[in-house]
Amino acid sequence: MESREISEFIQLFKPESCVFVISVDENNKPSGMIAGWNMRCSSDPPLFAVSLQKKGNTQRLIRQSKEFVIAVPNKALEEALLVFGSKHGNEVDKFKETGLKTAEAKMIKVPLIKDATLNFECKLHKEVEAGDHIIFIGEVVYGHKNENKKVLLNFGRDKEGNRLFKEY
């Protein structure tokens, strides 16, 4: 059995789902990020969790608004994923830069990503401190599905450092 630094082995734990996490500021302007650390955590009530860095813009917006959207991407959103995963929302308008289209949510102020495979409207249920991250647990109050769209998974990077996304 091979031994290495823990961080190297954690990076090998792929594939992982990668989702957009969207929230809004005090003026209802949306911003968001990509989160690879996410999961369903309860059926009754329906709860979904995302783990975000404590210093990030999106965690601040979720704390202020008490709402967020989990949007599950597909291949058509790959370029937007790269922007949302590499730029900071307090420095650039990611929606403007990517041209990502939004749609109105039914139960919350945070917009949906129109072309995402799935959108989950979440109201903040609980926060859990987790080292350098905060786990935000949202109660799913409404869901949306785009028919005939697959889910995009993150398989890590190739030898040149390019992201490897595949649909399932």
- Over residues 117-164, the pLDDT tens digits come to 999 999 999 999 999 999 999 999 999 999 988 888 878 778 888 878
> What's the whole-number average pLDDT of the chain?
92
- Structure token digits, residue 108: 């919350």
- Residue count (the chain): 168
pTM listed for this prediction: 0.89
DSSP state letters, 27-50? T--EEEEEESSEEEEEETTEEEEE
pLDDT of residue 154: 78
CA distance linking residue 56 with residue 10, whole number of Å: 21
CA distance linking residue 47 with residue 70, whole number of Å: 11
All structural domains of the chain: 16-167 (2.30.110.10)
Q: Span 73-87, mean pLDDT? A: 92
- Structure token digits, residue 90: 């307090």
Is 82 strand, coil or helix? helix
